[in-house]
Structure 1
Amino acid sequence: MSSLVSCLLGRDDSSAKQISRQIEQQLKDDKKTARTQVKLLVLGTSESGKSTFLKQMRIIHGTGYSDEERLTFVSLIAQNIHSSMRILIKSMKYLNISFEKHENEEIAFNYEDSEAETETSSSLSLKTGNDFAKLWNDAGVQQCFARRDEFQLSDSTAYFMNNLERISEKGYIPSLQDVLRSRMPTSGIREYQFDIGNFVFGIVDVGGQKSERRKWIHCFENVTSIIFLAALSEYNMTIPLEEVSQDLRASLRHNQRRQAMRAKTTLNKAASSTGFGFTNGLAGLDMANGGHHGSSQHRKIKSRPSNRKHFSPTDFPRTALRSTPSSLEESPDQNGNTRKKSDDSSRSAEPSFAPSHINRMKESRALFKTIISCEYFTNTSVILFLNKKDILAEKIATSHISDHFPEFEGPKCDAEAARNFILTKYADCFERRRTPKRDLYAHFTCATDTRNIKYVFAAVKDIILKNYLITYNLV
């Protein structure tokens, strides 16, 4: 009996040793894999092009999209088209724009409230394609589309509307460009891996998170580089303040208070030099109607206060979809909040602020500041993709950047000058938080252009690998 127990114990001991060796080998393999894995974190605000960039990585460095996989996008593309047309129809009412042809008004009525149909559309029928083509060619719809900065509309709207005939054909298979242009809001945290040379690039996408970013940002330790996408086309667009996460709102409030203090100091100095005095109330009123945007000035302007430009109400334009009470007078302040002033002069001179809209590029820069200020990224290089340069080139012809950022002193209708100005805005944020072990690498991109992304990523790949080797003391 004792010999049997001894035999069994011996077998158990041998099995345990074998399991232990397997675990040790697995740990060694994982460690070896980790040393050849480059971890990239893709960040940016909603609609900045993160998902499109990841699709490009799959096309350039992954398996691409087979015909079967592209067919899975048919339903999504149909939903995108339905949604865009419905938004255009509804926005025409808010903007008081009429259809050129009465028959198109009747067609639009059938699609105005088709949200349930949009969510269940498996494809775009030939009839719907013909109806949408008639609406898209209507002068009223085109007038509304020209004012799309006043409401939220997908950047791919014109592309899909101009391809309705092809998309509504029987047996339609989306092209790679169709797949890249399709839009589905992402949420949560997703990781994709691509074999590039002798390294595995792990790209982490956090989607369009709007919750407290402080709660999840600590999950991304040991990141080799951060790729931050910012949309150049957002310079004249807004976002409701309530959709901005609490940490960014806190940052915006802090900047607002700092700007108010700087403006008050400037006014008091001017008053002292002319012999006039200003009360706090008057200084506050001047700030609400045209104060200085201190945080956005160029460095050379900061040293010459007399040359600072004053604020314009158009710096943070409000959407036309917002209804305004007739008994109140409204004007946006520096952070896009709406200042409501009663006609009753007996009320307190202290202005009250209600949630409104802020400039989308300001929200993007606030997120950028939050990321580069995070303790986990103090030694992480930052790659800035200033995306949607093609859309900026279209917009800049009719929407001047100086109407939204008065400190811009470049020529009008100049896309290159506008791009460089926006780059300076982000670069200034980084310079104030630069550390000896990290740098900022910026590129102008068009995420829907595969050739452009391939060229840009090839340029930044060497930078990423160099930083990786330095991190692990391999050079």
Structure 2
Amino acid sequence: MSSPSAPATAKNAYSRALPTHISVVDEREAKRISNAIDRAGESGKTTVLKQIKIIHGEGFNVEREEYRKIIRLNALTAIRELCLCMLQHKATVTFPINQEHFDYLLSLEGPGESTFMNGKKFSNLLRRRQSADDASADAIFNHAAPSIKAVWGDPAAQELFQRGLAKNMQDSAASFLDEIDRLAADKYTPTDVDILRARVRTFGVTEHQFKIELVTYRIFDVGGQRSQRQGWAPYFDDCSAIIFVAAVSSFDQYLREDPSVNRLYDALQLFESICNHRLLRSTSIILFLNKIDVLKRKLANGTRLSSYFKDYTGPNDYQYVTSYFQHLFFSQNKVPQKEIYLHLTHATDTRQMRVIVSAVNVIVQRMNLKNSGLM
């Protein structure tokens, strides 16, 4: 990031100024934090980056066609997760005619995640008991579209989804599944809203550059997978600010790789590691408690925070719950001089993010003036 310093995100979400030098962080500490980052995906960090690109960059016109495959893959992955949830809960389709569709979707083995690797997007292959090249991915989706629509519209599937039992489905799944006909159309071109909702996993290091109110930001998006540790470890050094993105809606969800660990507890542990890291003790943090739209929906549907956070005794109300989460995150910090700036965010809401990005820009510039001794 060029001078003056500005925040840059990394997995769940590190932010740094472009260093005048790079020193290697203690490898054991880097590995420990990397392991935590591995487990803390889907916070909405990448969506924040997309919003900055829409608001202050060139948008997605160049990549729009690429996102078609990613969005279709998201939809297919989501419906398959719902089918697996129905199996887990021994639920059967309400209409017998949908059983064949249900079986077909289950036969689509492992429609993996889309990835974002070193600045290039890749759609993992869709497979139906054999490999398929990327060129045929659209054809496979189009063949599956009637089955997706049938199962998604089945009352039994809807009941499980509305009860929040399909916890591995991504938050944007319903919006894609509701519009399967549009997604399957021959001339389908993703909108900005579609792209914001698309789930893309990050590998490697990707760099983004934006100009916000005459300030040039160079943002390094750093993947947190174990194989990528050597790539992101140096970015802990020379941090001027950190943006940390946590999905507060994940309070009732557990890690895929360790179902005994609550996702939000895990995010709290990661936040504690960052706040108190020896190289980041004087670094301010901008905390995004994200996915407040999903949180509101879960609370309104009757999902009780106290069922997952036993020490919470307040009302199951958005204002009380978010105040509780703020206290939880702030209490992880053991460095008295550290400044933490809080924002409650809905990262897919461009209007809200426009205001927040502007506020973050003001905060960062104030930090720069303070660090330079000008205030």
- Tell me the TM-score normalized by structure 1: 0.64
Match of 1:105 in 2: 99
Task: Please say if residues 49 and 447 of structure 1, whose CA atoms lie closer than 8 Å, have aligned partners that are also in contact.
Answer: yes
Cα-to-partner distance string for 1:159-185 (whole Å, 9 max, x where unaligned): 101111211112111000111111121
User: Given residue 310 of structure 2, which amino acid in structure 1 is its aligned partner?
Assistant: P
Go from structure 1 to structure 2 and tell me whether the alpha carbon gap of 1:149 and 1:458 turns closer, same or farther (over 3 Å shift). farther
In structure 1, how many angstroms separate the alpha carbons of the residues matched to 2:228 and 2:183?
Answer: 39
Go from structure 1 to structure 2 and tell me whether the alpha carbon gap of 1:185 and 1:123 turns closer, same or farther (over 3 Å shift). farther
Task: Please say if residues 225 and 464 of structure 1, whose CA atoms lie closer than 8 Å, have aligned partners that are also in contact.
Answer: yes
Query: 1:169-188 to 2 correspondence within 5 Å?
Result: 169-188=185-204
In structure 2, how many angstroms separate the alpha carbons of the residues matched to 1:149 and 1:191?
Answer: 37
In structure 2, how many angstroms separate the alpha carbons of the residues matched to 1:145 and 1:439?
Answer: 40
Cα-to-partner distance string for 1:357-388 (whole Å, 9 max, x where unaligned): 11110100011011111122111110000000
In structure 1, how many angstroms separate the alpha carbons of the residues matched to 2:303 and 2:155?
Answer: 20
Go from structure 1 to structure 2 and tell me whether the alpha carbon gap of 1:135 and 1:466 turns closer, same or farther (over 3 Å shift). same
Aligned pair partner of 2:46 in 48, 51, 61: 51
Aligned pair partner of 1:434 in 328, 336, 341: 336
Residue 138 of structure 2 aligns to a residue in which SS?
A: coil
Aligned pair partner of 1:65 in 60, 67, 70: 60
In structure 2, how many angstroms separate the alpha carbons of the residues matched to 1:365 and 1:88?
Answer: 28
Q: 1:236 and 2:252 equivalent?
A: yes
**Relative contact order, CA 8 A, sep 6+: which one is greater?**
2
Instruction: Give the Å deviation of 1:96.
Output: 0.5
Which 10-residue stretch deviates more, 450-459 or 108-117? 108-117
Residue 8 of structure 2 aligns to a residue in which SS?
A: strand
Instruction: Give the Å deviation of 1:78.
Output: 1.1
Instruction: Give the Å deviation of 1:127.
Output: 5.1
Aligned pair partner of 1:75 in 69, 74, 89: 69
Match of 1:167 in 2: 183
Q: 1:40 and 2:8 equivalent?
A: yes
Task: Please say if residues 289 and 345 of structure 2, whose CA atoms lie closer than 8 Å, have aligned partners that are also in contact.
Answer: yes
Task: Please say if residues 81 and 169 of structure 2, whose CA atoms lie closer than 8 Å, have aligned partners that are also in contact.
Answer: yes
In structure 1, how many angstroms separate the alpha carbons of the residues matched to 2:97 and 2:265?
Answer: 42
Go from structure 1 to structure 2 and tell me whether the alpha carbon gap of 1:42 and 1:215 turns closer, same or farther (over 3 Å shift). closer
Q: 1:406 and 2:310 equivalent?
A: yes
Which 10-residue stretch deviates more, 148-157 or 195-204? 148-157
Residue 107 of structure 2 aligns to a residue in which SS?
A: coil
In structure 2, how many angstroms separate the alpha carbons of the residues matched to 1:223 and 1:123?
Answer: 46
Instruction: Give the Å deviation of 1:220.
Output: 2.9
Match of 2:35 in 1: none
In structure 2, how many angstroms separate the alpha carbons of the residues matched to 1:473 and 1:211?
Answer: 40
Runs of 4+ in 1 over 6 A off after TM superposition: 211-215
- Tell me the TM-score normalized by structure 2: 0.80
Aligned pair partner of 1:462 in 333, 338, 362: 362
Residue 193 of structure 1 aligns to a residue in which SS?
A: strand
Query: 1:190-205 to 2 correspondence within 5 Å?
Result: 190-205=206-221
Match of 2:174 in 1: 158
Instruction: Give the Å deviation of 1:240.
Output: 4.7
Task: Please say if residues 3 and 216 of structure 2, whose CA atoms lie closer than 8 Å, have aligned partners that are also in contact.
Answer: no
Go from structure 1 to structure 2 and tell me whether the alpha carbon gap of 1:213 and 1:128 turns closer, same or farther (over 3 Å shift). closer
Match of 1:387 in 2: 290
Cα-to-partner distance string for 1:432-459 (whole Å, 9 max, x where unaligned): 2332xx3000110011111111111111
Match of 1:333 in 2: none
Task: Please say if residues 193 and 203 of structure 1, whose CA atoms lie closer than 8 Å, have aligned partners that are also in contact.
Answer: yes
Aligned pair partner of 2:83 in 85, 89, 101: 89
Go from structure 1 to structure 2 and tell me whether the alpha carbon gap of 1:165 and 1:215 turns closer, same or farther (over 3 Å shift). closer
Larger Rg, first or second structure (1 or 2): 1
Unpaired segments of 5 or more residues in structure 1? 1-32, 243-355
Cα-to-partner distance string for 1:392-422 (whole Å, 9 max, x where unaligned): 011112211011112212212x122111111
Task: Please say if residues 124 and 168 of structure 1, whose CA atoms lie closer than 8 Å, have aligned partners that are also in contact.
Answer: no
Go from structure 1 to structure 2 and tell me whether the alpha carbon gap of 1:149 and 1:429 turns closer, same or farther (over 3 Å shift). farther
Query: 1:295-306 to 2 correspondence within 5 Å?
Result: none
User: Given residue 102 of structure 1, which amino acid in structure 2 is its aligned partner?
Assistant: P
In structure 2, how many angstroms separate the alpha carbons of the residues matched to 1:105 and 1:70?
Answer: 35
Match of 2:343 in 1: 443
Identity %: 30
Task: Please say if residues 39 and 224 of structure 1, whose CA atoms lie closer than 8 Å, have aligned partners that are also in contact.
Answer: yes
Cα-to-partner distance string for 1:184-211 (whole Å, 9 max, x where unaligned): 2112222211111232112222234356
Go from structure 1 to structure 2 and tell me whether the alpha carbon gap of 1:102 and 1:176 turns closer, same or farther (over 3 Å shift). same
In structure 1, how many angstroms separate the alpha carbons of the residues matched to 2:232 and 2:240?
Answer: 18
User: Given residue 73 of structure 1, which amino acid in structure 2 is its aligned partner?
Assistant: Y
Q: How many residues align?
A: 325
Unpaired segments of 5 or more residues in structure 2? 13-39, 110-124
In structure 1, how many angstroms separate the alpha carbons of the residues matched to 2:232 and 2:56?
Answer: 28
> What's the Cα RMSD here?
2.3
In structure 1, how many angstroms separate the alpha carbons of the residues matched to 2:80 and 2:66?
Answer: 23
